[in-house]
Structure 1
Amino acid sequence: MLITDRDLVIIRWINSHRLVTAEHVKKKFLMSRQSAYRRLKILVEAGYLAYERIFISKPGVYRVTQKGVAVSEDDLPPKGVCLGTYHHDIEIVTLAINLEERTGGKWVPERRIRQELGLKGVGQAGHVPDGFLLLPDKRVAVEMEQTKKGDARMAKIISYYKNEPTIAEVWYFCCTDTIVKRVSKAVSETGKFKIIKWPEMTEIQVGPVQKPEGQISMDQFFWGVKNANRL
């Protein structure tokens, strides 16, 4: 088959996230549903991607094969599906596309962050977020919280973020009200941290202080970030 430059970009992007759905590819690359499925089918048949249907009630997922890594000249090795992190992996891709679209920023997935740390010889010191959202004036660490972390582990992560000068903000996307409460308690202050209910995209006020009258919504906030990036 004739592989295109866009095919190579798609392969590398999928490999960055471990696995994605056809809907993710459609949204990320602004393709029609038919075009996305057709191109993914071609890449699977050529051996560059593998397709797996993990759960009957969920869409199938695509991941990069060793052949796909080789043709795209990606130095990040392919990864198989991990059932323990499957739902988290899928939700992170959805969130990443959403944030790029809303803010105009660039998403750097956890796998690329870990790769960069390894290439620079820094090791695994500190904490690696689910992704970085790169904006013109700052780097935002993004965390997707689907399950409860232990108090000690959460406190250690929060302490790291508070003392890490290269990270301007930390956005916690929490999937349940219980997790919202636990993260809010751990943060105990606003400023560097934003706690957002996912998928509603509702920002949660931290602490006893009431929201001031006229405080912007998250939609207004994301609109402001995206338009500021265009200036």
Structure 2
Amino acid sequence: MDYKKISQTFWDQGYIIFEKFFSDELMDEYNNKILKHYGLNQNWEHTNEFISKSAVEVIPWFPYRESDGGFDGIDRHPEFNEITDAILKEGWENLYCMMMFSKAGSKGQAWHQDCPPDDPKKYNLNRLVYTHDITDETGGEIVIMPEAHKAGILPVGNPHDEIEGQLVFQPKKGTVVFLHGHCFHRVKPVKSDRVSSNFRAVPKGTPEDITDICVYRNMKYKFSTSEVIEERV
């Protein structure tokens, strides 16, 4: 891999995508494991106010907080982490691993930034891994606004409205998307059960609560206290 080019592309666009990065066998194993978990525990972990205002209907699971994790085939994959080294050149740390499940017929995720872009040096890195194909039939496509990590705060507007210049992707099984936390992104409505995972990382020295406040087009939301801390109109 040309790690210099990878880094340049990421910092120019705010994201970079690698298709067929992980094997079908590993993805099938992990997809089954994730679905088994959700089959037993499909409960919302957000308030009704959050779901209503954010247009987000995603059920999170943090496997490394609850057990020994069991996804080390991704978490400790040498090239996966070497790419992270190339992007975050001055060192980095794992933040957390989050599995995301969306029920058929749910809204997906509205436009958001994972953390406020007040300080360009304080951000998270999403490392999104897809354990099954995202297709026309599944819905749940990821939508990214290129170069938005350099654009400041997400503009006010309706949570799911399209933004000129957005790009829509249907990642296939084994695809990895490295995405800057300040880059505007969303997930389109989900037609059949959808799974994705996020092995979040941060530059070394970044506060552990960097993703506690999320920016939406209509509000800023603080997860630790389950409250809207700012209405955006």
- State TM-score, norm by structure 1: 0.26
Between Structure 1 and Structure 2, which shows a larger proportion of helix residues?
1
Between Structure 1 and Structure 2, which shows a larger proportion of strand residues?
2
Work out which structure has the larger RCO, using CA pairs closer than 8 Å and 6 or more positions apart in sequence: 2
Q: Give the structure with higher Rg (CA).
A: 1
